[in-house]
């Protein structure tokens, strides 16, 4: 049976796993142009609820 | 070969799905903007756009057909008396979906779906400025220490 010739050191194992986290899990954030807080791109700001220059969450008040 | 139109099942049986989309459509017509998951928002769009287009015919038959789908008199009345007039000559595309940050708890993709012609109306901002956690949590030591400090300061003056 094929078998590993040597034990994989913790260092090598962790270096391999670090690549996964660094490449896939780092959250991309942008700064909200309205309130300046970091938030996700292409989504309404989690802090102030603005998107494309206007409030997009909450109730619409019909006159 | 018979091909099925692509549509989300939303993890529901056919009847449950029909009820869900009917409810979401009704609420959208009444409240003009609703917050839901991205998948449900996109399915609701398919349903409610067709309903609005049908309503623009303005016939009694159209009204009965729409009522059979929504089962809500208030929503049908709102649709025929208010929304149809507001839409004007917009050739479809009555709704807009804006993505929100993932929901806390299950990280579901969330979105708001709104009627485009009502979207410019002012929104009542629901997002209260986030307070310091120490101030929100009742009986927290940090908050008590702060209030005591304030009292102490006032007493000294």
Beta-carbon neighbour count of residue B87 at 10 Å? 19
Candidates A53, A11, A49, A17; CA nearest to A33 is A53
- CA Rg value for chain B: 23
pLDDT, tens digit only, all 157 positions of chain B: 899 889 999 999 999 999 999 999 999 999 999 999 999 999 999 999 999 999 999 999 999 999 999 999 999 999 999 999 999 889 999 999 999 999 999 999 999 999 999 987 777 665 555 555 555 555 555 555 555 555 544 444 4
B67 and B22 within one domain:
yes
Q: Do A44 and B33 touch (CB under 8 A)?
A: no
B140 and B118 within one domain:
no
Q: Is B101 on the interface with A (CB under 8 A)?
A: yes
- Number of separate domains in chain B: 2
Q: Do A59 and B114 touch (CB under 8 A)?
A: no
Q: Which domain range does residue B153 map to?
A: 127-157
DSSP H stretches of helix in chain A: 10-20
Pairing of strands B123-124, B95-99: unpaired
Q: Which residues of chain A have pLDDT under 70?
A: 25-26, 63
Q: What is the pLDDT of residue B127?
A: 52
Q: What is the ipTM of this complex?
A: 0.70
Interface test with B, best of A56, A61, A63 (most B CBs within 10 A): A56
- CATH for B37: 3.90.1030.10
Q: Do A44 and B123 touch (CB under 8 A)?
A: no
């Amino acid at each position: 049976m094929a078998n590993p010739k040597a034990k994989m050191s913790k260092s090598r194992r962790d270096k391999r796993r670090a690549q996964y986290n660094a490449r896939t899990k780092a959250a991309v954030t942008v700064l909200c142009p309205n309130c300046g807080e970091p938030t996700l791109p292409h989504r309404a700001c989690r802090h102030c609820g603005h998107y494309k220059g206007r409030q997009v969450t909450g109730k619409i008040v019909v006159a | 070969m018979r091909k099925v139109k692509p549509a989300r099942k939303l993890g529901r049986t056919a009847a449950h799905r029909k009820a869900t989309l009917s409810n979401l459509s009704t609420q959208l017509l009444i409240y003009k903007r609703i917050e839901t998951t991205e998948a449900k928002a996109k399915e609701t769009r398919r349903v409610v756009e067709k309903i609005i287009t049908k309503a623009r015919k303005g016939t009694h038959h159209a009204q009965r057909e729409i009522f059979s789908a929504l089962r809500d008199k208030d929503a049908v009345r709102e649709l025929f008396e208010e929304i149809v007039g507001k839409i004007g000559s917009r050739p479809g595309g009555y709704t807009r979906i804006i993505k929100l940050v993932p929901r806390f708890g299950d990280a579901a993709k969330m979105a708001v779906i709104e009627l485009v012609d009502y979207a410019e109306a002012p929104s009542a901002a629901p997002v209260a400025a986030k307070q310091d956690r120490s101030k929100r949590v009742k009986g927290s030591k940090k908050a008590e220490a702060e209030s005591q400090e304030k009292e102490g300061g006032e007493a000294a003056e």
